[in-house]
Amino acid sequence: MIGAVIAVLVVAAGAVVGVKLLGDKDAGANTASGGDKPTASSSAQAGSSPSDAPSPSASASRSASDGPTTQPTATGSQPPSGVAPGVKAADLTVMAPVKDLGGFEVGPAKINTKQYGAALIQERSCDFDAYTEFDLNREWKTLEFTAGIDDGSQNEKGRVSISLDGQPAAFSELVELGKPITHTVDVSGALRLRVKVDKGCDNGTVVIAAPTLRR
């Protein structure tokens, strides 16, 4: 009887020892695999913070502190005539007048059967001289043009004058239908150019065709 009890106790003790050894083995395996240590990705996530990245407001502040960028304006660098200094010839009909065209119109015309694509045209003025002025900026040497009466005009004559800086007219001629006048005026050193058609109820459609400035 005593021998049987001792045998049972021995078996029970062996079972406890086996369970203890199995538990120690499992704990060692977990330690070797790094189960209790934080992973590299979790460490990196823990080490970074929102304060390390540049914020949009900080970037905007740096850009604002650099100051605004000033863009050049088109009018700031243009001469009064609107023609760049390097241009050797300019059509007067596309230049900006000092004030306005003063009774003239710009368009095509036909003089003595010859068609002109660009001209200063004055149809008729009974009560006042029609004139317009241009700022030459003392940059031009000559003005070339053909003056005449448009072939479709009802009346057949009109007086054209070209003057510079308030001086007596450098050109003043009575033009007639079918008799155009081609002329070149010296405008060297001139500041202000005036183109005028004298008033007259019997005026025809006066044309200053292809007026061209040259340096």
Residue 63 in domain = no
Task: Return the percentage of the chain with pLDDT > 90, whole number.
Answer: 56
Task: Return the percentage of the chain with pLDDT > 70, whole number.
Answer: 62
Dump pLDDT digits (tens) for 16-31.
Answer: 444 444 445 444 444 4
Residue 59 in domain = no
* 74, amino acid identity: A
Residue 74 in domain = no
Residue 65 in domain = no
Domain identity same for 84 and 42:
no
* 153, amino acid identity: S
Residue 55 in domain = no
Residue 209's pLDDT is 98
Domain identity same for 40 and 87:
no
Residue 54 in domain = no
Residue 34's pLDDT is 47
**Has residue 196 got a pLDDT over 80?**
yes
Residue 112, by phi and psi: left (phi above 0), alpha (psi -120 to 50) or beta? left
Name the domain count of the chain.
Answer: 2
Domain identity same for 120 and 190:
yes
Q: Give buried/exposed letters for 186-200 (b at 16+ CB in 10 A, else e).
A: ebeebebbbbbbbbb
CB atoms within 10 A of CB 23: 10
**Has residue 47 got a pLDDT over 50?**
no
Domain identity same for 17 and 119:
no
104 or 126: which leads in pLDDT: 104
Domain identity same for 34 and 89:
no
Residue 130 in domain = yes
Domain identity same for 124 and 191:
yes
* Residues paired with 145 in a beta bridge: 183
Output the DSSP codes for 167-203.
PSPSEEEEEEBTB-EEEEEE-TT-SEEEEEE--BTT-
State the average pLDDT for the chain. 76
Q: How far apart are CA 134 and CA 129, in angstroms?
A: 17
Q: How far apart are CA 129 and CA 159, in angstroms?
A: 10
Domain identity same for 15 and 120:
no
Domain identity same for 11 and 100:
no
Residue 203's domain comprises 80-214
What are the DSSP E strand ranges found in the chain?
A: 89-91, 105-111, 114-122, 130-135, 142-149, 157-164, 171-176, 181-186, 192-197, 206-214
Q: What is the CATH number of the domain that holds 95?
A: 2.60.120.1060
